[in-house]
Amino acid sequence: MQIFTGLDTVPRPLTRPYITLGNFAGVHLGHQLLFSEVVNKAYNNKGTAVAVTFDPHPLKVVRPEPGIKLISTFEQKVELIELANIDVLIVIPFTREFAATPAAAFIDQLLATTGITELVVGYDYAFGRGREGDIAFLQEQGRRKGFAVSVVEPLYVDGKLVSSTKIRQLITEGKMGTVRKLLGRFYQIRGTVEAGRGEGGEVIGFPTANISLSEEDLCPRLGVYVVQVIYGGKCYGGVMNIGYNPTFGGEILTAETHIFDFDEDIYGKRIKINLLRFLRGEKRFSGPRELAAQIARDIEQAREILAAAQKELLLACEEKYNR
């Protein structure tokens, strides 16, 4: 996949470009449907499958407080778009100046740069100053300027609308099974392993790999999760606590993961963690002994869950974005 930052860097014109526009927050199943439509049209018509997105997320610029929490990092979004077999990704830097661009002016820029053959958008897509660039606007622009517009209808899974808003809600509720159904993959957090305060291994007897959660991260419900840890191209089971470590008076939000059957030194290394199932809420214990007993029970339960889902987890581990 070719990646261009800004319309002015795109070679002109592209070959019969079929284009989808969007923020693609989380790259959920609804977004994947858009990509599939674009890829199929481009393949059948010997064209180019193009995705146009924005960075940072527009709401981080136009409504910075309290700020939108992202389902995936920009890095992960790019990986997932590439997995969808998109040929060209155009990333438009989103600024306050760009936010003031009239929708018609943006379409003219996009048309001049790429030579649009067809636009493929979601049923509720709107863009431009005051969100004036809605479906009716795009269809009128297409009639006047010579490109087709296709609208992809909403996608429902088990009666739930697949949307970024719904997925954020489910993540904050810890409903990881439903999250996976709407995302089409496990919800994943990433980070660099940092040195903790030492209670995990030295005091409790269960060493942990600790990562801080970024301000941009969408924080799941606080508590303990069954997880799959990806490091060095391999996958390991584990249990993770997201919270403040109240038993030891912690004040910093961290994700502390005890990785099963693993003894490597990974301080300073990047890891990826798939959240499989919520086990219990975070709790303050009377001391290290009571906490260690509970962790032992968590580990036993987690191993049972991982064993029951072994085939599914092997498939998840083989997916390219886990490498």
pLDDT digits (tens, 9 = 90+) for 110-154: 999 999 999 999 999 988 887 888 999 999 999 999 999 999 999
The pLDDT of residue 199? 52
For residue 175, pLDDT over 70 is answered with yes
For residue 20, pLDDT over 80 is answered with yes
For the record, the structure tokens of 51 come out as 């995705």
Average pLDDT value for the chain = 89
In angstroms, how far is the first alpha carbon of the chain from the final one? Answer: 17
Segment 258-296, tens digit of pLDDT: 999 998 889 999 999 999 999 999 888 777 788 888 899
The pLDDT of residue 260? 95
Could you tell me the fold of the domain covering 2-157? Answer: Rossmann fold (3.40.50)
For the record, the structure tokens of 230 come out as 């990806």
For the record, the structure tokens of 12 come out as 């002109």
Rg of the chain over all Cα atoms, to the nearest angstrom: 22
Report the C-alpha gap between 166 and 208 in whole angstroms: 31
Highest mean pLDDT among 14-23, 119-128, 216-225, 286-295: 14-23
Full-model pTM = 0.89
For residue 207, pLDDT over 70 is answered with yes
The pLDDT of residue 319? 61
Report the C-alpha gap between 93 and 99 in whole angstroms: 10
Could you give the percent of the chain with pLDDT greater than 90?
Answer: 66
Q: Which residue has the tokens 């030194």?
A: 265
CATH 3.40.50.620 region(s) of the chain? 2-157
Is residue 18 within 8 A of residue 152, CB to CB? The reply is: no
CB neighbours (10 Å) of residue 76? Answer: 18
For every residue of 201-265, DSSP letters joined together read IIIIS---EEEEPPTTB-PPPSEEEEEEEEETTEEEEEEEEEE--GGGT--S-EEEEEETT----
Count Cβ atoms within 10 A of the Cβ of residue 268 and give its class: 0-12 exposed, 13-18 middle, 19 or more buried: exposed
Question: If you average pLDDT over residues 235-258, what whole number do you get?
Answer: 84
Determine which helix (DSSP H) or strand (DSSP E) holds 319, and give its type and residue range.
none
CATH homologous superfamily of 186-322: Riboflavin kinase-like (2.40.30.30)
Segment 51-110, tens digit of pLDDT: 999 999 888 888 776 667 889 889 999 999 999 999 999 999 999 999 899 999 999 999
For residue 323, pLDDT over 60 is answered with no
CATH 2.40.30.30 region(s) of the chain? 186-322
Is residue 209 within 8 A of residue 259, CB to CB? The reply is: yes
The pLDDT of residue 92? 96
The pLDDT of residue 317? 74
DSSP helix/strand/coil, 39: helix
DSSP helix/strand/coil, 187: strand
The pLDDT of residue 308? 86
Report the C-alpha gap between 52 and 5 in whole angstroms: 10
How far is C-alpha 290 from the chain's CA centre? Answer: 36
Residues 169, 59, 244, 265, CA torsion sign = positive
Segment 195-205, tens digit of pLDDT: 766 554 455 66
